[in-house]
Chains A and B, each alone.
Chain A
Amino acid sequence: MNYIEVKNIYKQFDSKIVLENISFDIQKGDIFGFIGPNGAGKTTLIRIMTGLLDANQGSVIMGGFEVKGEAIKAKRLLGLVPQELAIIEGVSAYDNLEFFGALYGLRGKNLKGKIGEALEFVGLTDKTKEKVKKFSGGMKRRLNLAAAIMHEPEILILDEPTVGIDPQSRNHIFDFIKHINQEKDTTVLYTSHYMEEVEHLCDNIFIIDEGKEIAYGSKASVKSMISNNNKVHVQLDNFEPSLLEPIEALDAIVNVSTDHEGLHLLVKAEEFKLADLLKVLEQNSAVIKSVSVDEPNLEEVFLSLTGKKLRD
């Protein structure tokens, strides 16, 4: 079921085209990755999706409500974690959540309860009454997140939520996203220019550059756009050239090469079975030190499709 539908979004600022006919669908309960370099148009699209900006053409439907025409209904489903630390520094973490919770219509005991849950969820219970200006960057990021999830939104949009934070806080955020997705079936749109984050979290992705679609689909299908092959590296203690013949005879093998580090195989991703390779090596008395399989990563996909690195 399509829970979010982005249809032919076109946006132009003065003479500059920022988004050019961007379309994608997100299924209910999906974690969807929206990736591209800085300035690609990610934040502009999020502003359009959240009703902060009007597109010149196209429409966005969230949970059955068109954002432009039924903004309030659509926004009730939504939690936004902006790229900036959109929290009020002069008051406490509790005051921040009380403020944003009230904007979502929470009140009284319900509001208090949700504040407690959200602070516990992001690991800030012991900092409830502390002024936010005293928080570390990572703590502020987590509070930024708590403010977006305290009303238990059906759709969570995260715009580069890990910029400028320590690895510990980053892992905390990843765990949190997986948790909220699994436990509460929250649909997540995650934008980043860190490919490894999106690879780690998302099943379906959209790659954007200079306002245009570069690739869109499941992670595997996007990777297959540049290659259907994986690389397998085998390190042996006792390499014998006679090994090459039985390995090359395996069905999935495309190419075999050797160097001082060992064997390097290019294999058909869908047909290759590691067990077959290990069986051949065992039959030929090879002593295996290590085996690794490299899939093409999204960074390589982006490089291959645009001719430039993601963080250029």
Chain B
Amino acid sequence: MTVLAYVRLALKSIIKELPAFVIGFAIFPIFIGLSIGFAQKNMFSPKINEPLFTISVMDEDNSWESQELIAFLQSEQVSQILTVDVHGDADYVLSIPDGYGLSLVGAGEATIKVELSKDASRRLGNTLASIVEMFNTEFSRGLVREQKIAKLQEELQVTEVGERIRDNLTKITPTAALQTKIHRVKKSFTSTEYYSIKFLLFVFSMLLLAMINAEELEKKMGIADRVLSTPVTRIMLFNSSFLSGYIQILVCTFLYVGAYKVTGLSFSGSIPLLILIVLVQGLLVAIISLVLVTFFEKKVASLLVQVVLYFTLIFGGLVGPLDEWTGISIFRLLGKVKLDFLISEPYHNYVLDNSFGSVMGPLLLSFAVTVVLYGLAITAVKLGVGEKR
């Protein structure tokens, strides 16, 4: 009955405040996300079907291996992301030095250079470099494999079987290994997708602060005492608070992701998968709020939430890549600290890959953390932690 009473009250409170919820969790975040997204759209790759950039190739080696590389770059797979421009008016210039072919079998060193034109993106330049690097690795492996197979054929002297093995192994081409890379490059975020995920932390932080305040207010107003003067135990109260908080978080999150989805700005993948993410992530946020109010006073709990929020806002890329703007390396280091990892990663993978496999790992991690935090908090409640507050 206690749980039902709390659920009913939570739903009634939400219904009575629904216009405020819609403004706060659907309209306002989209407005801000669109504004910042528009201002920073040049920092994101456009979502297009055309190749993303052009390259020209200067082949000083002119070997069979260098020709293979050029052929690879012109292959159907790779041409989804780049075009080899023979006229030399390209975003990037790829210089294949003399001795490149020999370097692939370990006979000497020769490094391919990628030169950027004035307006070219450094990020896409890195993508080009990594494609070439991947080709080199796979090509070298292929060469080694061929040598081993030839040796095996000689030893076994079973030509037919050896041929079959060789055929199978050589089917593993560099382009197959590049599928994932191409997919990731092609499926990079639009600015609104990026900010729809970044703003989730903001939304959850606001929810956490609201829940911490509500909990404090309940204590100050004597509502918690009144509830505990009824035939209700502290554990029942904790679980009921958890459930009502969870419902509130679900409603707010569904409003948020739903608004982005309906407008087509983000979260455009599978609906059941999105629902699964919201359901699991909601548990995590709900338990974080209860852990904060169980272990800390309101001031400390609010401060912790704000520190995480502002840290992520400043260093996590919401206000732009500080390291690139300022050139200060400490920002690069701090930018690698992902305090919102558990919150944003499932949504991040969902938007990029829209596959159960890609979100399963982060979701399981979220769930495991939720279970651990729940265990900690319920033990603390049993031990009477925070009763004096």
Contact = CB atoms under 8 A, between A and B. Distances in A.
Interface of A: 47, 50-52, 71-72, 75-76, 78, 80, 82-88, 90-91, 95, 98-100, 102-105, 107, 131, 147
Contacts of A104: 230-231
B222 A102 contact: no
A50 B221 contact: no
Contact of A87 (B5, B17, B220, B223): B223
A83 B221 CA distance: 9
B229 A52 contact: yes
A47 B1 contact: no
Contact of A84 (B1, B2, B13, B220): B220
B233 interface: yes
Contact of A76 (B6, B226, B231, B233): B231
Nearest to B226: A86
Contacts of B223: 86-88
Contacts of B232: 75, 103
Nearest to A89: B221
B5 A86 contact: no
A82 B223 CA distance: 9
B32 interface: no
10 contacts: A50-B229, A72-B231, A83-B222, A86-B226, A91-B9, A98-B9, A102-B1, A102-B4, A104-B231, A131-B16
A75 B229 contact: yes
Given A75-B231, A86-B221, A95 B226 contact: no
B221 A84 contact: yes
Contact of A82 (B2, B4, B13, B226): B226
B5 A85 contact: no
Nearest to A13: B388
Interface of B: 1-2, 4-6, 8-9, 12-13, 16-17, 220-223, 225-233
Contacts of A76: 231
Given A86-B221, A98-B8, A78 B13 contact: no
A52 B8 CA distance: 25
Contacts of A72: 231, 233
B227 A103 contact: yes
B21 to A, nearest CB: 12
A87 B226 CA distance: 9
A53 to B, nearest CB: 8
B8 A99 contact: yes
Contacts of B222: 82-86
Contact of A90 (B6, B13, B227, B231): B13
Contacts of B233: 71-72
Nearest to B2: A103
Contacts of A103: 1-2, 5, 227, 230-232
Contact of A91 (B13, B220, B226): B13
A136 to B, nearest CB: 17
A90 B218 CA distance: 12
Given A84-B221, A87-B223, A102-B1, A78 B12 contact: no
Nearest to B384: A54
Given A100-B230, A102-B5, A90 B17 contact: yes
Given A85-B221, A87-B223, A99 B9 contact: yes
Given A84-B220, A86-B221, A105 B226 contact: no
B77 to A, nearest CB: 58
Nearest to B227: A103
A32 to B, nearest CB: 18
Contact of B225 (A52, A85, A88, A105): A52
B230 A75 contact: yes
Nearest to A95: B12
A75 B2 CA distance: 14
A84 B220 CA distance: 8
Nearest to A151: B230
A86 B8 contact: no
A99 B225 CA distance: 14
Given A90-B13, A95-B12, A103-B2, A52 B231 contact: no
Contacts of B12: 91, 95
B9 A51 contact: no
Contacts of A95: 9, 12
B388 to A, nearest CB: 8
A78 B229 contact: yes
Nearest to A79: B229
Contacts of B220: 84
A90 B227 CA distance: 17
A107 B1 contact: yes
A275 B1 CA distance: 62
Contacts of B221: 84-87
Nearest to A98: B8
Contacts of B13: 88, 90-91
A85 B6 CA distance: 19
Quick one: which of A51, A86, A91 has the most chain B CB within 10 A? Answer: A86
Contacts of B16: 90-91, 131
Nearest to B17: A90
B226 A102 contact: no
A75 B233 CA distance: 10
Contacts of A100: 226, 230
A4 B127 CA distance: 79
Contacts of B230: 75, 100, 103-104
B150 to A, nearest CB: 79
Quick one: which of B4, B12, B13, B220 has the most chain A CB within 10 A? Answer: B12
Quick one: which of A82, A85, A107 has the most chain B CB within 10 A? Answer: A82
A47 B226 CA distance: 10
Contacts of B1: 102-103, 105, 107
A99 B5 contact: yes
A205 to B, nearest CB: 23
Contacts of B9: 88, 91, 95, 98-99
A16 B227 CA distance: 28
